[in-house]
């Protein structure tokens, strides 16, 4: 029997197929299992780990805090009767014939497909063992092993992962290269960055906190070499790993502002340097400096994993993400996408925008399930309320960080005002107002203002009469809005 015919005989049929075992894919699978428990569901994951959202705590109408629990991929199909998890890699998708081919030769047919393949790190250079991109559990494990003997590392990037790495790494000299005028610019303004700087340069670090119990259960992957595109990291991912060097006892961070790496040089190319210490790799910065190091961590954003064979005809955005409408359906009928792989292509609410974060991956995965089931049953449905307001809950430098709406004045131009309240080492509160109405907020620390701010952004009440009393710590402003 010919090999291709043999493979075609190994065809598996399923109503729903989801590709990707990250937060979006697992949230979609769980949503489908709840909404359509009688239908066959297949989740295909390239990693032996899946990322499940647990311990969800609602903080408001759309705002929620949750943990991300790493589990063996096999635990998911044990929990849901009609869900089958296949640990394999997708080779090709036939969008017209509605077939998915995986590397073991099996062919899976579907009625409705959801692509949750996430994104991969945007590396400053490919195929270089001295440059590590942090995106998934497997890449963190490889990074932590390489870090053991490192004396100096360079971190490039200014987003969430870069910020957390700078704070969490111990025992190694860190050069943080950022293109902005202040740290953590993806999420916070210069004032909040200044608030965080005390923590970066603190020599006490967080040794007292290391012994505190973690709420998250862990499942550690043993084979770190076989997965190229594992599931993205969730909040507090660094609690699972020892990301420490052995060369320094205290925090040793230097920030290079407003510059990027223009060129990478080998040790042979740097023989002319008058340096007593030789490094495996050197980075030439746009400010003229040449810095040697043992390792470069590239945390400069992500590229959607949308280049699967067979998806060439699906419409893509400028960022290469799969364009989806308000139902999260791609340009091909019955093919959906959720999470980092997709790009929102609908008329968005004023206070919502897309950011490739685990919060939105969870929201999109759940919403995609609702949309897919409604499609199957030919039912009418409305867009989820979570797309009315941008919300994100995370933790930087041990502080709880809540971002709401247009938290940095996005899309408002220069026509807005800012109210600030800050207490050193305790809290940082920033409110964005336009025409007397709240448009966004940054809440750092235990402020207990998140529910009030969420309501005021959604309700668009005129707050002009309250003036600066809106953030007066001696007035319980929430009483005004009960």
- Per-residue pLDDT tens digits for 259-274: 999 999 887 776 655 5
Tell me: pLDDT of 376 over 70. yes
**pLDDT score for 353:** 94
Tell me: pLDDT of 92 over 90. yes
Mean pLDDT of 170-175: 88
- Per-residue pLDDT tens digits for 292-306: 999 998 888 888 989
**pLDDT score for 11:** 81
- What CA–CA distance (Å, rounded) separates 281 from 291? 9
- Per-residue pLDDT tens digits for 191-228: 888 888 777 766 444 444 443 333 333 333 333 333 44
Distances (CA, A) of 471 to 246, 407, 456: 45, 16, 13
- What CA–CA distance (Å, rounded) separates 477 from 4? 69
DSSP 317-353: -TTSPEEE-TT-B-SSTTEEE-GGGEEE-S---TB--
- 84 in helix, strand or coil? strand
Tell me: pLDDT of 338 over 70. yes
Among 29-38, 225-234, 324-333, 412-421, the least confident range: 225-234
**pLDDT score for 225:** 35
Paired strand residues for 421: 429
Please indicate, yes or no, whether the overall pTM of this predicted structure exceeds 0.75.
yes
Among 15-24, 67-76, 116-125, the least confident range: 67-76
Structure tokens at 378: 């030919």
Tell me: pLDDT of 129 over 80. yes
- Per-residue pLDDT tens digits for 409-459: 888 888 899 999 988 889 999 999 999 999 999 999 999 899 999 999 999
- 16 in helix, strand or coil? strand
Q: Which domains does the chain have, with CATH numbers?
A: 3-119+302-384 (3.50.50.60), 123-298 (3.50.50.60), 398-481 (3.30.390.30)
CB 172 within 8 A of CB 248: yes
**pLDDT score for 204:** 43
CB 119 within 8 A of CB 229: no
- What CA–CA distance (Å, rounded) separates 407 from 440? 4
Which pLDDT band holds residue 472 (cuts at 50, 70, 90)?
confident
Structure tokens at 49: 């780990």
Tell me: pLDDT of 393 over 80. yes
Which pLDDT band holds residue 140 (cuts at 50, 70, 90)?
low
Which pLDDT band holds residue 469 (cuts at 50, 70, 90)?
confident
Structure tokens at 405: 């709406």
Task: Give percent of the chain with pLDDT exceeding 90.
Answer: 45
Higher-pLDDT residue of 80 and 323 is: 323
CB 19 within 8 A of CB 100: yes
Q: What are phi and psi of 232, to 5 degrees?
A: -65, 155
| Averaged pLDDT score across all residues of the chain | 81
Higher-pLDDT residue of 241 and 17 is: 17
Highest mean pLDDT among 163-177, 319-333, 411-425, 454-468: 319-333
- Name the residue among 131, 140, 172, 161 with its Cα closest to residue 254: 172
């Amino acid at each position: 029997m010919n090999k291709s015919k043999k493979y075609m005989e190994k065809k598996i049929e399923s109503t729903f197929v989801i590709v990707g075992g990250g937060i979006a894919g697992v949230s979609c699978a769980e949503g489908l299992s709840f909404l359509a428990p009688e239908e066959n569901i297949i989740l295909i994951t390239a990693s032996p780990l899946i990322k499940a959202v647990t311990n969800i705590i609602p903080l408001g109408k759309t705002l929620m805090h949750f943990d991300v629990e790493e589990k063996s991929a096999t635990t998911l199909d044990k929990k849901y009767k009609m869900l089958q998890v296949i640990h394999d890699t997708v080779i090709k998708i036939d969008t017209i014939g509605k077939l998915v081919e995986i590397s073991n030769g099996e062919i899976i047919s579907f009625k409705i497909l959801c692509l949750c393949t996430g994104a991969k790190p945007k590396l400053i250079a490919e195929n270089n063992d001295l440059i590590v991109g942090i995106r998934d559990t497997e890449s963190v494990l490889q990074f932590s092993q390489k870090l053991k003997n490192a004396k100096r590392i360079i971190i490039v990037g200014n987003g969430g992962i870069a910020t957390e790495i700078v704070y969490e790494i111990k025992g190694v000299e860190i050069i943080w290269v950022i293109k902005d005028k202040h740290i953590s610019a993806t999420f916070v303004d210069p004032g909040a960055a200044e608030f965080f700087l005390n923590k970066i340069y603190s020599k006490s670090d967080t040794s007292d906190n290391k012994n505190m119990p973690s709420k998250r259960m862990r499942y550690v992957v043993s084979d770190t070499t076989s997965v190229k595109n594992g599931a993205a990291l969730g909040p507090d991912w660094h609690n699972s790993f020892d990301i420490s060097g052995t060369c320094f006892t205290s925090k040793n961070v230097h920030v290079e502002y407003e510059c990027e790496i223009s060129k990478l040089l080998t040790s042979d190319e740097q023989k002319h340097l008058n340096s007593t210490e030789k490094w495996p790799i050197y980075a030439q910065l746009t400010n003229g400096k040449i810095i040697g190091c043992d390792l470069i961590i590239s945390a400069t954003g992500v590229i959607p994993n949308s280049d699967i064979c067979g998806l060439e005809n699906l419409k893509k955005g400028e960022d290469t993400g799969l364009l989806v409408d308000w139902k999260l359906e791609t340009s091909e009928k019955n093919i959906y996408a959720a999470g980092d792989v997709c790009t929102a292509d609908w008329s968005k609410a004023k206070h919502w925008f897309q950011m490739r974060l685990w919060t939105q991956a969870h929201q999109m995965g759940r919403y995609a399930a609702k949309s897919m089931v409604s499609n199957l049953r030919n039912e009418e449905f409305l867009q989820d309320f979570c797309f009315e307001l941008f919300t994100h809950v995370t933790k930087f430098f041990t502080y709880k960080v809540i971002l709401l709406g247009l938290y940095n004045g996005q899309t408002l131009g220069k026509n807005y005002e800012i109210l600030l309240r800050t207490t050193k080492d305790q809290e940082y509160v920033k409110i964005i107002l336009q025409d007397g109405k709240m448009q966004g907020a940054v809440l750092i620390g235990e402020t207990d203002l998140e529910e009030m701010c969420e309501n005021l952004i959604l309700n668009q009440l005129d707050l002009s009469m309250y003036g600066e009393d809106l953030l007066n710590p001696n007035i319980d402003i929430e009483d005004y809005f009960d």
